[in-house]
Chain A
Amino acid sequence: MLPDFASIIAETKEEALSCLSSLERAKVIAGGTDLMVKMRSGERYDHIIDITNIRELDGIAVKDGVVVIGPVATHARLGSDAAIRENAPGLALACSLVGSPQIRNMGTIGGNIVNASPAADSIPPMLIHDAMLTLESKGSSRKVRLEDIIVAPYKTSINTRELLGPVEITSLKGYREGYFRVAKRATWAISRLSVAWAISEEEGTFKDVKLAIGSCTPMPFRAVKVEGLLRGEKRQPGIIAEAVRIALEEIKLISGIRPSFAYKLPVLRGILENVLGGE
């Protein structure tokens, strides 16, 4: 049984925002795949505001190299959408690996962001695409970079009166892009380790490298030191070994030494060598 609450099925964004601003102990629900589990284990709210009927929060549009994703777009939708597959194939792949078909039909990209799990599959690819979030509350709105909003595992700086609106990502057409995750089994297992990348090369030289790593640190992170090291360098084993060393060092610096690193880091080394070495 769920703890009792009153629910509001919001039909417009304005309605959701005014509920959030006026009601106490109110909480947004999208697909419910994270929130229902939490409520079942005792999290209590007085009001649950369902936002999945709000048309303007759904859908995917591309304009001038920017892909605008509605927060209630599901993982199933992102995994199969032509614009996402074309402009952010790593994100499409990551979303198609989430949970099970049922979880992908229910779970949304907005819920994945706000839940802010270190293992959230959509986050590393969105970091690669410099995702920018719009946060709205009654009478105001602000734009924040995804990497600035997650402050600790499962914690964001989004306040309780705010609604996550559209998520904008930049297209990386012309990049070699991908996503790889290691999980105990394919379905239902959360990622133990995940890597998102986008690399552009010209005649064996790295023009630009974007690399994000999930599940190793409290929040998925962009390996900017590695990116800086490789930019403009010829793709050859020496520099790749150095890049991998820096990535692993950075993880140890952020997280300290963890028991799981004994197996995680050698696996990560192998993945990064393949990714940077061009498979």
Chain B
Amino acid sequence: MKTISFILNGKKTVVEVRDSETLLYALRERLGITSVKEGCEIGECGTCTVLIDDEPHYSCMTLASKANGSDVKTVEFLGTADLLHPLQEAFINSGAVQCGYCTPGMLLSAYSLLLKNKDPDTDDIREAISGNLCRCTGYIQIVEAIKDAAGLCKHNS
């Protein structure tokens, strides 16, 4: 076992993990963050995406011990049911959510993009979410939503 200490959604977190466990497992089973989903577990679907130091990573292939000392964000960081992030509002308004399985990961990849690029074009957006699969929407609404949110964020800042 190892004791790891990291910032999870802005809060200092200390947790015991097995040496051979993934960050996905630690987040879901030890810390109750079930927005991070388990899909393929081999880096091909993106539903386990988390931000480590604001960059998207697959938590299914990241050892939990690698999170020690870093900043980890999941979709809980973005907003709450009462106070949604503009990205979340835009996803809802554009019909970018169907079954929702891809949504947390998709939002995090989009959030990371907007941190680096306030004014992304369609190609930038498609590239940024290329590691996240959606089996429902066909992506058009997701790309639209991210564009709308970028406009809103720019307007607000």
> Across the interface, which residues of B come within 8 angstroms of A186, CB to CB?
130
Give min CB distance, A177 to chain B, whole Å: 22
* A267 on interface, CB distance cutoff 8 Å: no
A3-11, A14-22, A206-214, A269-277: which lies at the interface: A3-11
Q: State whether A102 and B66 are in contact (beta carbons under 8 Å apart), knowing that A32-B61, A76-B55, A187-B131 are contacts in the complex.
A: no
> Across the interface, which residues of A come within 8 angstroms of B22, CB to CB?
2, 36
| Cβ-defined contact, A100 with B130, below 8 A | yes
Give min CB distance, A111 to chain B, whole Å: 12
* B9 on interface, CB distance cutoff 8 Å: no
* B19 on interface, CB distance cutoff 8 Å: yes
Q: Bound complex: CA of A106 vs CA of B51, how far in Å?
A: 12
* B144 on interface, CB distance cutoff 8 Å: no
| Cβ-defined contact, B61 with A187, below 8 A | no
| Cβ-defined contact, B65 with A103, below 8 A | no
> Across the interface, which residues of A come within 8 angstroms of B66, CB to CB?
32, 50, 52
* A29 on interface, CB distance cutoff 8 Å: yes
A interface size (C-beta, 8 A): 27
* B82 on interface, CB distance cutoff 8 Å: no
| Cβ-defined contact, A102 with B65, below 8 A | no
| Cβ-defined contact, A100 with B131, below 8 A | yes
| Cβ-defined contact, A99 with B131, below 8 A | yes
* B91 on interface, CB distance cutoff 8 Å: no
* A105 on interface, CB distance cutoff 8 Å: yes
* A115 on interface, CB distance cutoff 8 Å: no
> Across the interface, which residues of A come within 8 angstroms of B49, CB to CB?
102
Give min CB distance, B68 to chain A, whole Å: 7
> Across the interface, which residues of A come within 8 angstroms of B109, CB to CB?
101-102
Give min CB distance, B32 to chain A, whole Å: 19
Interface-central residue, B2, B57, B63, by most chain A CB under 10 Å? B63
* A37 on interface, CB distance cutoff 8 Å: yes
| Cβ-defined contact, B41 with A33, below 8 A | no
Which of A6, A37, A50, A187 sits near B42, CB closer than 8 Å? Answer: A37
| Cβ-defined contact, B41 with A9, below 8 A | no
Q: Bound complex: CA of A30 vs CA of B68, how far in Å?
A: 15
Q: Bound complex: CA of A53 vs CA of B69, how far in Å?
A: 11
Interface positions, chain A 147-167, Cβ under 8 Å from B, are none
Show the binding face of B for A, using Cβ within 8 Å.
2, 18-22, 41-44, 46, 49, 52, 55-58, 60-63, 65-66, 68, 109, 112, 127-128, 130-132
A7-B2, A102-B46 provided; 6 other pairs, C-beta below 8 A? Answer: A3-B20, A29-B63, A36-B42, A40-B41, A76-B55, A106-B57
Show the binding face of A for B, using Cβ within 8 Å.
2-7, 9, 29, 32-33, 36-37, 40, 48, 50, 52, 76, 99-103, 105-106, 186-188
* 20 residue pairs bridging A and B, Cβ less than 8 Å apart: A2-B22, A4-B18, A4-B19, A32-B62, A33-B61, A36-B61, A37-B61, A40-B42, A52-B66, A101-B56, A101-B127, A101-B131, A102-B46, A102-B57, A102-B131, A103-B131, A106-B57, A106-B62, A187-B130, A188-B131
